[in-house]
Amino acid sequence: THSFTSSMGRTRQVAGRQMAEQVDATLARLPDRARDIFHRSRIGDQPQREIAREVGISVSTVESDLRKVYLALAELRERFDEE
């Protein structure tokens, strides 16, 4: 069973790396501002109002850019779920 368990672990690692690469590729195809806002919001945990002020756009534009990112990532997830 150890061999089987190790094999499953490696399979998950490969799948995880492939998914991470696809996420990176998906994010790279997005407009720079949307990608920047996503990183500030989700990775930097920066409030939307603060992002808007620093970038010089409205909060609704921040929200719109985040929706674009979330839609692209949701579409990617659907493709992974189909496989």
| Reported pTM | 0.78
Digits of tens for pLDDT over the chain (83 positions)? 556 566 667 777 877 888 899 999 999 999 999 999 999 999 999 999 999 999 999 999 999 999 999 999 999 999 888 77
Burial class of residue 38 in the structure, from the number of CB atoms within 10 Å of its CB (0-12 exposed, 13-18 middle, 19+ buried): buried
